[in-house]
Structure 1
Amino acid sequence: MPTAALATTAPVADTSFVNTIVSFIQDGGSFMYPILLVLAVGVAITLERVIYLQGVKSKNRRIWADIFPLLTKAQFRQALELVRDNDAGIARIIGYGLERARSSRRFEDVELAMEEGLMEVLPRLETRTGYLATLANIATLLGLLGTIIGLIVAFTAVASADPAQKADLLSASISMAMNTTALGLIAAIPLLLAHAFINSMTTKIVDSLEMASVKFSNAYRLAASQQDQRRPDAE
Structure 2
Amino acid sequence: MFEIIKAGGWLMLPIILASILALAIVLERFWTLRRSTIIPPGLLDETLRQLKAGELDAKRLQAIEAGSPFGRILATGVRNRNRTHELMKERIEETGRQVMHELDRYLNTLGTIASVSPLLGLLGTVFGMIRVFTVITSVGVGNPHVLAGGIAEALITTAAGLCVAIPALIFHRYFRGLVTQLAVEMEDGAVRMVDGLRGMKNARSTPPASKGAKP
TM-score (norm 1): 0.78
Q: Which has the higher helix share?
A: 1
- Aligned with residue 107 of structure 2, among 129, 133, 148: 129
Structure 2 counterpart of 1:208: 185
1:189 aligns with 2:166: yes
For residues 68-114 of structure 1, what are the alpha-carbon distances to aligned partners after superposition, in whole Å with 9 as ceiling and x for unaligned? 14526861753464332331211111111111113x2x222221221
- Aligned with residue 90 of structure 1, among 64, 67, 70: 70
How far 1:159 moved relative to its partner? 1.3
1:113 aligns with 2:91: yes
Does structure 2 retain, via aligned residues, the 8 Å contact 1:146–1:180?
A: yes
TM-score (norm 2): 0.84
Distance 1:70 1:140, change over 3 A: closer
Does structure 1 retain, via aligned residues, the 8 Å contact 2:43–2:71?
A: no
Runs of 5+ unmatched residues, structure 2: none
Structure 1 counterpart of 2:124: 146
- Please report the RMSD computed on the Cα atoms of aligned residues, expressed in angstroms: 2.5
Separation (CA, whole Å) in 1 of partners of 2:165 and 2:53 = 49
Does structure 2 retain, via aligned residues, the 8 Å contact 1:80–1:99?
A: no
Separation (CA, whole Å) in 1 of partners of 2:112 and 2:33 = 20
Structure 2 counterpart of 1:233: 209
Paired residues, number: 208
Distance 1:80 1:192, change over 3 A: farther
Separation (CA, whole Å) in 1 of partners of 2:24 and 2:193 = 37
Distance 1:233 1:132, change over 3 A: same
Percent of counterpart pairs with the same letter?
27
For residues 37-81 of structure 1, what are the alpha-carbon distances to aligned partners after superposition, in whole Å with 9 as ceiling and x for unaligned? 111111111111211112xx323443x524414526861753464
1:68 aligns with 2:45: yes
How far 1:232 moved relative to its partner? 5.0
Q: What code does the residue aligned with 1:29 have? A: G
Runs of 5+ unmatched residues, structure 1: 1-20
How far 1:138 moved relative to its partner? 1.9
